C-alpha cells in the first residue's frame, strides 16, 4: 500500500498511463470491488469513516454531500442525475488538480465512477478550464479507453450500473469554482451563482439532482475502497483522513507540489521545498491560496488541515501555500490578489462588482506612494462592511477581502509606511 495514494503511481515524466498500463498497476480494482461487493450506502459509509473532506476549498464532508444527493434524488423522481467534476482550478497558487488530470486521468475516472454509483448519478461531466488542454485531452482519451473496455457505458463490469462520462471545456473563470455557477457554465449560461434553495442535490444541472466534487476529492476515492477507511485515516497526522496535495510557491527555492499527510506543517513543507529563496527570512505565508488569511512565523507549526487552520485564524482552502520572504511587500502582494478577484467578479452584486475594483485602485495608489490616510480608512471600511459572509450574493467577495483584512491586521505598520512613499520591508 502506497503512502502516496494520489500521486504514487504517476510516471516521472507526468505522461498519462494507457489503460493497460494503469490496470497493470492495480487500476480499476477498486471499481470492481465497489460494484461487486458494496452497496451505494456502504460506499458512502466507508467514505465517511475515512474522514474524507472536499479538497476544493471548503472542506465539506464528502459523505454528507453524497447523502444529500440520494435524498434529493428520491424527491426528484425518475430521470437523469449528474455528478459534475470541478477541474477549473483558478485559485491563485493552486495547481494540484492539473497534475491529477494530466498524469492520472484513469484514477479520476475510476473515482468519479465509484462516486456516481454511490450517489445514483447517470452521467459524469468533468469541467476543465480551457487553459488545461493537455488535461482535457488526457481525460478524453482515457474515457474512450474505459468505454471500449466496458468500464463505462452500459452494464459496467456486469453490475447492471450504467454511466456516461464526458469532458466539458470551460472558459475558465474564478467564479466557476462556486458550484451553482459551475452548473450554469455547463448549461451554456453566464456563470453566475444561483439562489439557494433549491440546492443542487435537489435541482441542479438542467433542474435535475446534481453533486459537484473537486478533482482531488474524487481521485482519493479508489484508494479508500481498495484499502479501507482505517488505512486511509492512518495516513493523516490528524482526525481528517488521508493525504493532501500541498502546492508551495512564491519565495521558495523549489516551488512544487507535495503529497503529504493531512496535517503536515508549513515548516515541514518549506523544508522540502528547499527553504526560503536566497537564504532570506520568512515574512508570512498564505496556507490555502490567494483567498486565505496570512500566517507568520508563529504559525509555522500549525497542522495544515481544515480544523486547525480555521482555529488559528485562516483556512486550508486548496492547500496552496504562497510564501512571502522578508523583502516581499505584503501591500503589493495583496494588491495583485485584489486585481485578480476584481477582474474575476461575475458582476452580479454591488459589493463585489463595484467594491473590489475600488479596493484594487486604493491598493495600487498606496503601492505607488500616492495613498492617503483616508484610503487606509476606506480599506478598513470595506473589510468591515462588505467582508463578512452573507453581505454579497456568494462568498467570492468575502474570500477576496480576506487577505486584505488579514494584511491590515498583521502589517498595519507597513501600510502606514507607504503613506510616506516607501516600503520598510527588507530594510535593516
Here the CATH number for the domain that contains residue 316 is 3.10.20.600
Residue 300 clears pLDDT 90, i.e. is over it: yes
Q: Judge whether 223 and 104 are in contact, CB under 8 Å.
A: no
Domain that holds residue 360: 330-420
Residue 428: what pLDDT? 36
In a domain, 261, yes or no: yes
Do both 259 and 123 map to the same domain?
A: no
Do both 274 and 166 map to the same domain?
A: no
The CA distance from 408 to 418, in Å, is 13
Residue 426: what pLDDT? 60
C-alpha cell of residue 77 = 423522481
Tens digit of each residue's pLDDT (9 = 90 or more) over 117-151 = 999 999 999 999 989 999 999 999 999 999 999 99
Q: Which of 164, 199, 234 finishes a domain?
A: 234
Residue 213: what pLDDT? 97
The CA distance from 23 to 42, in Å, is 24
The CA distance from 334 to 315, in Å, is 17
Tens digit of each residue's pLDDT (9 = 90 or more) over 206-261 = 999 999 999 999 999 999 999 999 999 999 999 899 999 999 999 999 999 999 99
Do both 298 and 348 map to the same domain?
A: no
- DSSP string computed for 141-184: HHHHHHHHTTSSBSSGGGSS--BEEEEEEE---GGGGSHHHHHH
Do both 142 and 190 map to the same domain?
A: yes
Q: Assign residue 135 the CATH number of its domain.
A: 3.40.50.11540
Give the residues across from 282 on adjacent strands.
325
Q: Is 130 strand, coil or helix? A: coil
Residue 1 clears pLDDT 60, i.e. is over it: no
Residue 388: what pLDDT? 85
237: closest CA among 2, 1, 3? Answer: 3
User: How many other CB atoms sit within 10 Å of the CB of residue 80?
Assistant: 15
Q: Total domain count for the chain? A: 3
Do both 369 and 314 map to the same domain?
A: no
Residue where the block lists cell 482515457: 142
Do both 58 and 185 map to the same domain?
A: yes
The CA distance from 50 to 70, in Å, is 20
Phi, psi for 322 (deg, rounded to 5): -115, 115
Tens digit of each residue's pLDDT (9 = 90 or more) over 36-87 = 999 999 999 999 999 999 998 888 999 999 999 988 777 777 889 999 999 9
In a domain, 401, yes or no: yes
Residue 190 clears pLDDT 80, i.e. is over it: yes
Q: Judge whether 287 and 250 are in contact, CB under 8 Å.
A: no
Q: Is 292 strand, coil or helix? A: coil
Give the residues across from 261 on adjacent strands.
243
The CA distance from 381 to 357, in Å, is 15
pLDDT band at 290 (very low <50, low <70, confident <90, very high): very high
Q: What share of the chain is helix, strand, coil (3-state, %, to 5)?
A: 50, 15, 40
Q: ∠24-27-33 over CA atoms, to 5°?
A: 125
> Taking residues 168-172, what's their average pLDDT?
85
Note the Cα 241 to chain centre separation in Å. 16
Do both 251 and 369 map to the same domain?
A: no
Residues in the chain: 428
pLDDT band at 170 (very low <50, low <70, confident <90, very high): confident
Q: Is 30 strand, coil or helix? A: helix
In a domain, 12, yes or no: no
Residue where the block lists cell 515548516: 267
Pairwise pLDDT comparison (426 vs 223), residue with the higher score: 223
User: How many other CB atoms sit within 10 Å of the CB of residue 19?
Assistant: 20
209: closest CA among 118, 112, 74? Answer: 74
Q: Judge whether 31 and 110 are in contact, CB under 8 Å.
A: yes
Q: ∠207-213-216 over CA atoms, to 5°?
A: 160
Residue 415 clears pLDDT 70, i.e. is over it: yes
Q: Is 381 strand, coil or helix? A: helix
What share of the chain in percent tops pLDDT 70?
99
Do both 101 and 176 map to the same domain?
A: yes
Q: Which of 325, 340, 370 finishes a domain?
A: 325
pLDDT band at 391 (very low <50, low <70, confident <90, very high): confident
Amino acid at each position: 500500500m502506497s503512502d502516496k495514494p494520489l500521486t504514487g503511481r504517476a510516471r516521472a515524466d507526468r505522461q498519462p498511463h494507457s489503460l493497460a498500463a494503469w490496470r497493470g498497476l492495480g487500476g480499476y480494482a477498486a471499481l470492481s470491488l465497489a460494484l461487486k461487493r458494496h452497496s451505494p450506502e456502504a460506499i458512502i459509509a466507508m467514505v465517511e469513516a475515512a474522514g474524507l473532506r472536499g479538497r476544493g476549498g471548503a472542506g465539506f464532508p464528502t459523505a454528507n454531500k453524497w447523502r444529500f444527493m440520494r435524498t434529493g434524488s428520491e424527491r426528484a423522481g425518475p430521470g437523469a442525475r449528474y455528478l459534475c467534476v470541478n477541474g477549473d482550478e483558478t485559485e491563485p497558487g493552486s495547481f494540484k488538480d492539473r497534475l491529477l488530470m494530466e498524469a492520472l486521468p484513469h484514477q479520476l475516472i475510476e473515482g468519479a465512477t465509484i462516486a456516481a454509483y454511490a450517489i445514483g448519478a447517470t452521467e459524469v461531466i468533468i469541467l476543465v478550464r480551457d487553459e488545461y488542454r493537455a488535461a482535457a485531452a488526457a481525460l478524453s482519451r482515457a474515457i474512450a479507453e474505459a468505454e471500449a473496455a466496458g468500464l463505462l457505458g452500459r452494464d459496467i463490469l456486469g453490475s447492471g450500473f450504467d454511466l456516461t462520462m464526458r469532458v466539458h471545456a470551460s472558459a475558465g473563470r474564478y467564479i466557476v469554482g462556486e458550484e451553482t455557477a459551475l452548473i450554469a457554465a455547463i448549461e451554456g449560461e453566464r456563470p453566475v451563482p444561483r439562489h439557494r434553495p433549491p440546492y443542487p442535490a435537489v435541482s441542479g444541472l438542467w433542474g435535475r439532482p446534481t453533486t459537484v466534487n473537486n478533482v482531488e476529492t474524487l481521485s482519493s476515492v479508489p484508494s479508500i475502497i481498495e484499502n479501507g477507511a482505517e488505512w486511509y485515516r492512518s495516513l493523516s497526522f490528524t482526525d481528517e483522513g488521508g493525504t493532501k496535495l500541498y502546492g508551495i510557491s512564491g519565495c521558495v527555492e523549489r516551488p512544487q507540489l507535495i503529497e503529504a499527510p493531512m496535517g503536515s506543517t508549513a515548516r515541514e513543507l518549506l523544508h522540502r521545498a528547499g527553504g526560503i529563496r536566497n537564504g532570506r527570512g520568512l515574512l508570512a505565508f498564505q496556507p490555502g491560496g490567494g483567498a486565505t488569511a496570512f500566517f507568520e512565523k508563529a504559525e509555522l507549526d500549525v497542522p495544515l488541515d481544515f480544523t486547525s487552520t480555521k482555529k488559528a485564524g485562516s483556512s486550508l482552502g486548496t492547500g496552496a501555500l504562497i510564501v512571502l520572504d522578508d523583502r516581499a511587500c505584503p501591500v503589493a502582494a495583496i494588491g495583485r490578489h485584489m486585481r485578480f478577484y476584481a477582474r474575476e467578479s461575475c458582476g452580479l452584486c454591488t459589493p463585489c462588482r463595484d467594491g473590489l475594483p475600488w479596493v484594487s485602485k486604493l491598493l495600487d495608489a498606496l503601492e505607488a506612494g500616492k495613498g492617503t490616510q483616508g484610503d487606509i480608512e476606506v480599506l478598513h471600511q470595506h473589510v468591515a462592511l462588505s467582508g463578512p459572509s452573507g453581505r454579497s450574493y456568494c462568498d467570492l467577495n468575502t474570500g477576496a477581502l480576506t487577505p486584505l483584512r488579514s494584511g491590515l491586521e498583521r502589517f498595519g505598520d507597513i501600510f502606514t509606511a507607504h503613506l510616506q512613499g516607501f516600503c520598510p520591508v527588507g530594510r535593516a
